[in-house]
Structures are given as C-alpha cells and as structure tokens.
Structure 1
Amino acid sequence: MYKSSDNISIHEVNKQLVFNKGLYHLDVIGGWEIGKNGFRVKLVHENGDDVVFPTWSWPVTNKYGWTKGKRIFDFHVLTEGIYTIDFWSSENLTVRPTGFSSFSLLGLFDRKVENKLISVIFYRK
C-alpha cells in the first residue's frame, strides 16, 4: 500500500509528491463528519500538461493511530511523476470528530476541528 509519508496541511502551498500510475484515495484527517463546502483538490504534473481532478469517492472511514479519517476523493493517475497539489477553498472545509449528525443537532459533540489543523493524506491500496 502506498501512503504519503506525512499528513499534508490543506493550507500548504506548492506541496509536491511522487505518484506512480494507479488509483489513489484522499482522506481528510481529524474526524468522520466532513463538510466539503466547495473544497477541491487538483494534481498538476511537473510537465504542466497533465492535470488530474478527483472523482467523488464512497465515504470510507479509516483510523490513523488514534486519529479518525474519511475518504472524500479518488484520483486516477495516468502519468507517473512529480505532481504539485493545489487546494481550493480550503478555508471552507469543516471537520467534526464524531460523525453523528443527530447529536450535532442537539448541541452535543458539536465542536469542529480548527480549520488550520485539518490535514489530508494520499494513499493507494
């Protein structure tokens, strides 16, 4: 399984990763209730010709140690190489640790993860 070595802040600019051909997933780290609110990601190959936009992903939950994560996007990489990651509207992404919307309506467990602390991870199985 391929996994980016570190969590990547959604506010990081010009972050580069090496991708081989294949299907990759992107998980948001910090909780199971994710509000995308226009949050988008794209990968731009170092040659500038290949741009990879994500497709919607079935929302699979994962655990990274004691931290919760949830898959939100899939990427089909057709050209291997170094890609720059571009995040759009990262300030609009919201994460709640619980994932229980009904409790949020009651005001229980309604705390959000601070936006500046939200990170993502890329992986391939």
Structure 2
Amino acid sequence: MAGKRLTRAESREVTKARLLDAAAGLFAEHGVNGTSVERIAERAGYTRGAFYANFEDKGELVAALSGRRLEGVEGFLLRTELTLYALRNPGRAERTVRELLEGLVRDATEVLERPTDPRTPPSASPSG
C-alpha cells in the first residue's frame, strides 16, 4: 500500500528537518566553520540548491537550529559551537546571539544540577 503523498509544504518541512539534522551532526563533528553548505546538503541527501531553497545562508540555518531543543551533554556542546559561531559572525541578528547564550546557560545549569552517581569515579563525571 502506497503512503500518503506529501503536500508541497509537508515536503518542504521534511527537507528542512533533514538539512537541520545533517547540520547538527556535522557541526558536532567539524564545527560550524568547518562544515560547508555542500557537505550539509550531501549528508541530508539533497543538492546545494535544496539548501538555498530552505535557508538564505548558513547563518540562517544556525539560527533555525538554535531554536531546537538540544538535550544532554551533546546538546550543550552543539549549542556552545552555535553560540561561538554567532559571536564570531556579528552580522546575524542580535536576538539569535541572545537566545543562544540563554540556551547555553540553561543547558549548562541542567548538566551541572544533575545528580551524580556516587559509584561514578570523579574523572568520569560530567563535572570532573
């Protein structure tokens, strides 16, 4: 049985989500500045044209990604990378930088406030 055909808007949302997922992974691996638009599109399974049909530039993608809920230590590290990128590229909206910094503080607080297992050696704990 064939699946439901997506509307143009639904298809665009799927494309955008796949591009954001690909970017998040690549940014975590190589940093924002170490990741090209072409590499993001390739990992998502699209062309550079699909990227630019959804985002004006990498800065806009960073802003969109910063709006996602990023969980755990990996999320904290990714938000840190996004924040550094935004600070190094002041041409982006001030609001994006402010939101990233607020998210970074919130994420850091969550990580630091997690109860630690007393059986965990200090070198293996997130704060150790």
TM bracket (short chain): under 0.3
Q: Which has the higher contact order (CA 8 A, sep 6+)?
A: 1
Q: TM (normalized to structure 1)?
A: 0.25
What TM-score do the two structures reach when normalised by structure 2? 0.25
More helix by share: 2
Q: Which structure shows the bigger proportion of residues in strand conformation?
A: 1
Who wins on radius of gyration, i.e. which is larger?
2
